[in-house]
């Protein structure tokens, strides 16, 4: 019995081999064909009964049917310079969508920019003339108006329903002039900023918070709607990322499409329809990304020197806690400049070794300290007893050329967010309780990972709207961070802050975003009236309290030149400023002034 159980399997294998040899290849082929036929029949039965793919396929068809009447094709004619006495024009095409039954069409600003004649083609082939109701180049949004009647407005999603990575999306438009096309994909990312919106100087001035999708978007898709799986508009196709350093609307799709989210579109469109003018919310803070350098954050506070930043002091070292504060910049030790922590320790020991018997047993350290409440910083001299030098090794610091993320990590913050590097004392955020050094992690429950995201979210809100900020704040004494929510009633973002451009008509009497609350042309007669010595130029009658300019010049100063060019009145002053993009001047615009006491000074005009 034991012998049979051992040999049994081998006998079966041998018998099978004999059968196969006898049956021959033809029989095997017949068996294989029969098995394949059975599998094909079973697959066909499954696909024709209770097939999920059939349901998905029908859903695709339904979305196409739902959206088709709402998608439009746009032709824009642009006049060209005369050539040999002949006037010419060019025509470009794009897409759009019906916003309401009154005939309002939403598209990208770049689709109709510079056009003198626009036509809109409906899905039926009906072509209607369009007029521009208004546009907002900073968000690349425009609103057209066509004659109403027999229009199907697109359904829009509830902006409170968040768009999530992985969501199914559908892009509509006229790629390469193939009109009323549809493509599908998923949401690949959110909060993208790529610098595609620029002004006439080529500077990045737009507000970008794009949805990234892998649905095919090509030239001609711009302005078309992006929908969710219910056929509700969640965004508008805008740009294509064609290469690491080439993001524009003219390239060809390479897997990265960008769309403006609906929560940015609706406030702009509704304002353009109602008033023709777009107003945006304003927080009144400067923020820095985690990837930016520590020194860049301190520049916005007014510090441009060398040094190392103190991030943490051991709470058990009470004498050090009494002398230093979290955020101090250690500038020098006994007059010798400091650029690293190791160097500071070495200099401290050297200075202690050079003390004579007649000297006090202390060395002098210079720090630059920013006063959050005063919104200003100044240098301070700190006397450090020799017996405390060894305690310096317990202090944690970062160099000014290290990333902000390292500074935050030393304080115990490892999450995403943006650092408040400056808070305008007259701004809404400061008034609500936001302070320099805070980290903003969310706005109205929307995560904030970079400064462009924060800008876009805030500017999608209107003045007087409430922005609820989730903030992380470090307490240097407790050496702990606290999270809190701060409700900020937004102010209005003025034209200069919005575009970086001076409007000579609007800014004739004041440029508050540059720190000038009131100004006028300084004339000889007015000089006699106010008992001041006359100098041709612009008299600064009032300064914005707490502004950077208020710390550089005095009330009553006369601006006599701008960028080395002499001026004699407000018109010349504004003409020069209007030729400059203030967002693109890192160090500001240089002016020369004469103070009321006759002293000469120079200052920098910067957007605060």
Residues of the chain with pLDDT > 70, as a percent, come to 89
| CA atoms of 280 and 431, how far apart (whole Å) | 19
Rounded to whole angstroms, how far apart are CA atoms 125 and 510? 52
**Structure letter (DSSP) for residue 76:** E
Q: Which of 425, 189, 382 is nearest to 286 (CA)?
A: 425
CA distance 146 to 75: 13
Name the phi and psi angles at 433, rounded to 5.
120, 0
Top-ranked range on mean pLDDT: pick from 411-420, 471-480, 539-548: 411-420
The CA distance from 292 to 310, in Å, is 18
Which residue of the set 70, 75, 95, 222 is catalytic? 222
Per-residue pLDDT at 27:
72
Task: Give the pair of three-digit tokens for residue 61.
Answer: 């068809």
Over range 507-517, report the average pLDDT: 85
The CB density around residue 531, as the number of other CB atoms within 10 Å, is: 6
More confident residue, 404 or 384: 404
Cα gap 479→482, rounded to integer Å: 10
pLDDT at residue 48, rounded to an integer: 77
102 is annotated as an active-site residue: no
Backbone angles phi, psi at 34, to 5 degrees: -65, -40
Can you give the pLDDT at residue 53?
A: 81
Q: Look at residues 228, 223, 232, 92 and name the one whose alpha carbon lies nearest to residue 156.
A: 232
Is residue 332 within 8 Å of 349, Cβ to Cβ? Answer: no
Average pLDDT, the chain: 84
pLDDT at 200: 53
Q: Is the pLDDT of residue 174 over 80?
A: yes
DSSP letter for 155, please.
Answer: P
Residue 235's pLDDT is 93
Q: What is the reported pLDDT for 25?
A: 67
State the pLDDT confidence band at 532, using cuts at 50, 70 and 90: confident
pLDDT above 80: residue 358 = no
Per residue in 32-63, pLDDT (tens digit) is 888 888 888 877 777 777 678 888 888 899 99
pLDDT at position 254: 64
User: What mean pLDDT is predicted for residues 570-575?
Assistant: 90
CA-based max dimension of the chain? 131
The pLDDT value given to residue 248: 47
Calpha distance 179→324 (Å, rounded): 67
Question: How far is 174 from 169, CA to CA, in rounded Å?
Answer: 17
Please give the average per-residue pLDDT across 548-560, as a whole number. 87
Q: Would you say residue 531 has pLDDT above 50?
A: yes
pLDDT at 101: 94
Decide if 314 is catalytic: no
Q: Read off the tokens for 414.
A: 């490892």
The vertex-10 CA angle with 5 and 14, nearest 5°, equals: 140
Region 541-557: mean pLDDT is 84
Task: Give residue 18's pLDDT.
Answer: 59
Whole-angstrom distance, CA of residue 302 vs CA of residue 304:
7
Quick one: how far is CA 204 from the chain centroid?
10
Nearest to 327 by CA among 406, 398, 413: 398
Q: What is the pLDDT of residues 376-394, one digit of tens each?
A: 788 999 888 888 888 888 8
Out of 111-125, 331-345, 502-516, 578-592, the most confident range is 111-125
In contact, 456 and 207? CB cutoff 8 Å: yes
141: which strand partners?
136
Q: Where are the beta strands (DSSP E) in 249-395?
A: 257-261, 281-282, 285-288, 308-312, 329-333, 336-337, 362-371, 376-385
Interatomic CA distance for residues 582 and 474, integer angstroms: 33
Q: For 197, list phi and psi in degrees, rounded to 5.
A: -95, 115
Check pLDDT > 50 for residue 246: no
Pair of tokens at residue 269? 């469109």
Q: Are strands 86-98 and 210-213 parallel, antiparallel or unpaired?
A: unpaired
pLDDT higher than threshold 90 for residue 486: yes
On whether the pTM is more than 0.95, the answer is no
Q: Is residue 443 predicted with pLDDT exceeding 80?
A: yes
Give me the numbers of helices (H) and strands (E) for the chain, helices first please.
13, 33
Residues with Cβ within 8 Å of residue 599, at least 6 apart in sequence: none
Tell me the HSE value of 84 on the side-chain side, using a 13 A CA sphere. 0
pLDDT on residue 228: 94
Question: Which one of 110, 326, 442, 535 is the catalytic residue?
Answer: 110
* Confidence label for 244 from pLDDT (cuts 50, 70 and 90): very low
pLDDT at 1: 45
Mean local confidence (pLDDT), 88-97? 88
Q: How confident is the model at residue 450 (pLDDT cuts 50, 70, 90)?
A: confident
Q: What is the pLDDT of residue 145?
A: 95
Give the separation between CA 311 and CA 326, rounded to whole angstroms.
5
Entry field: residues in the chain: 608
> What's residue 360's pLDDT?
66
DSSP H stretches of helix in 49-142: 52-67, 109-112
Closest CA to 539 of 510, 563, 514, 512: 510
Q: Using one digit for the tens of pLDDT, what is the confidence trace for 101-143?
A: 999 999 999 999 989 999 999 999 999 999 999 999 888 999 9
Q: Is the sign of the CA dihedral 357, 368, 419, 464 positive or negative?
A: positive
Q: Is the per-residue pLDDT at 434 higher than 90?
A: yes
Q: Kindly report the backbone phi and psi dihedral angles of residue 77, in degrees, each rounded to the nearest multiple of 5, phi listed first.
A: -100, 130
Beta carbons of 202 and 583 less than 8 angstroms apart:
no
The dihedral through the CA atoms of 60, 61, 65, 70 has a sign that is: positive
Rounded to whole angstroms, the Cα distance separating 328 from 344 reads 14
How does DSSP classify residue 580? S
Q: Which of 73, 135, 136, 140 is catalytic?
A: 140
Given a cut of 70, whether residue 23 has pLDDT beyond it is: no
Q: Which residues have CB under 8 Å from 442's CB, separation 6+?
A: 448, 469, 470
Residue 20, pLDDT > 90, answer no
Which of residues 322 and 368 earns the better pLDDT score? Answer: 368
Q: Give the best-scoring range by mean pLDDT among 133-137, 344-348, 455-459.
A: 133-137
What whole-number distance in Å separates Cα of residue 49 and Cα of residue 511? Answer: 71
Q: For the chain, how big is the Rg over CA atoms in Å?
A: 34
> Which of 65-74, 230-239, 308-317 is the least confident region?
308-317
Contact 583, 203 (CB under 8 A): yes
Active site residue 359: no
Q: Which residue has the higher pLDDT, 248 or 259?
A: 259
The predicted model gives 542-550 an average pLDDT of 81
| Residues 6 or more apart in contact with residue 368 via CB below 8 angstroms | 303, 305, 307, 328, 329, 331, 377, 378, 379, 380
Residue matched to tokens 């540059």? 514
């Amino acid at each position: 019995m034991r012998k049979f159980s051992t040999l049994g399997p081998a006998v079966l294998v041998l018998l099978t081999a004999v059968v196969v040899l006898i049956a021959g290849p033809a029989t095997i082929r017949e068996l294989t064909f029969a098995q394949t036929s059975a599998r094909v029949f079973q697959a066909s039965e499954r696909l024709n009964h209770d097939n999920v793919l059939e349901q998905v396929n029908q859903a695709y068809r339904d979305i196409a049917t739902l959206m088709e009447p709402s998608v439009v094709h746009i032709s824009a004619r642009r006049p060209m310079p005369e050539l040999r006495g002949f006037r010419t024009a060019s025509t470009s095409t794009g897409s759009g969508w019906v916003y309401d039954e009154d005939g309002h069409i939403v598209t990208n600003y770049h689709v109709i920019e510079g056009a003198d004649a626009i036509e809109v083609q409906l899905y039926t082939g009906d072509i209607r003339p369009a007029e521009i109701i208004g546009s907002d180049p900073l968000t690349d949004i425009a609103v057209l108006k066509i004659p109403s009647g027999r229009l199907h407005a697109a359904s829009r999603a509830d902006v409170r329903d968040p768009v999530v990575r992985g969501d199914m999306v559908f892009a509509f438009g006229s790629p390469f002039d193939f009109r009323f096309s549809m493509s599908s994909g998923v949401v690949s990312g959110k909060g993208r900023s790529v610098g595609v919106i620029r002004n006439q100087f080529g500077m990045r001035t737009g507000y970008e918070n794009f949805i990234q999708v892998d649905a095919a978007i090509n030239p001609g898709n711009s302005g078309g709607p992006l929908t969710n799986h219910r056929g509700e508009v969640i965004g508008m196709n805008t740009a294509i990322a064609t290469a690491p350093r080439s993001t524009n609307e003219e390239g060809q799709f390479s897997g990265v499409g960008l769309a403006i989210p609906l929560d940015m579109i609706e406030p702009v469109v509704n304002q353009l329809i109602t008033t023709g003018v777009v107003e945006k919310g304003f927080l009144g803070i400067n923020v820095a990304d985690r990837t930016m350098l520590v020194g860049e954050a301190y520049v916005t506070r007014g510090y441009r020197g060398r040094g190392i930043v103190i991030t943490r002091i051991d709470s058990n070292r009470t004498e050090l806690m009494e002398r230093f504060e979290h955020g101090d910049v250690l500038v020098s030790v006994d007059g010798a400049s400091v650029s690293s922590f190791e160097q500071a320790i070495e200099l401290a020991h050297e200075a202690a070794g050079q003390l004579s018997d007649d000297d006090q047993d202390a060395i002098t350290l210079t720090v630059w300290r920013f006063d959050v409440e005063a919104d200003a910083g100044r240098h301070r001299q700190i006397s450090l007893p020799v017996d405390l030098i060894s305690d310096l090794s317990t202090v944690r610091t970062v160099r000014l050329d290290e990333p902000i993320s390292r500074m935050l990590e030393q304080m115990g913050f490892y999450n995403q967010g943006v650092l408040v590097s400056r808070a305008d004392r007259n701004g809404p955020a400061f008034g609500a309780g936001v302070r320099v050094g805070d980290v903003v992690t969310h706005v109205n429950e929307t995560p904030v990972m970079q400064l462009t995201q924060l800008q876009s979210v805030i500017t999608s809100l209107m003045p007087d709207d409430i922005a609820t900020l989730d903030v992380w704040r470090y307490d240097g004494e407790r050496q702990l961070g606290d999270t809190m929510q701060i409700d900020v009633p937004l102010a209005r973002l003025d034209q200069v802050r919005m575009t970086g451009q001076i409007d000579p008509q609007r800014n004739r009497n004041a440029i508050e975003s540059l720190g000038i609350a009131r100004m006028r042309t300084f004339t000889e007669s007015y000089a006699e009236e106010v008992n001041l010595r006359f100098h041709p130029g612009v008299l600064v009658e009032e300064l914005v309290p707490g502004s950077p300019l208020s710390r550089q010049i005095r009330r009553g100063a006369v601006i006599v030149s701008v960028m080395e060019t002499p001026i004699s009145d407000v018109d010349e002053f504004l003409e020069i400023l209007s030729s400059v993009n203030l967002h693109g001047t890192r160090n500001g615009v240089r002016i020369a002034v004469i103070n009321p006491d006759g002293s000469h000074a120079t200052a920098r005009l910067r957007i605060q």
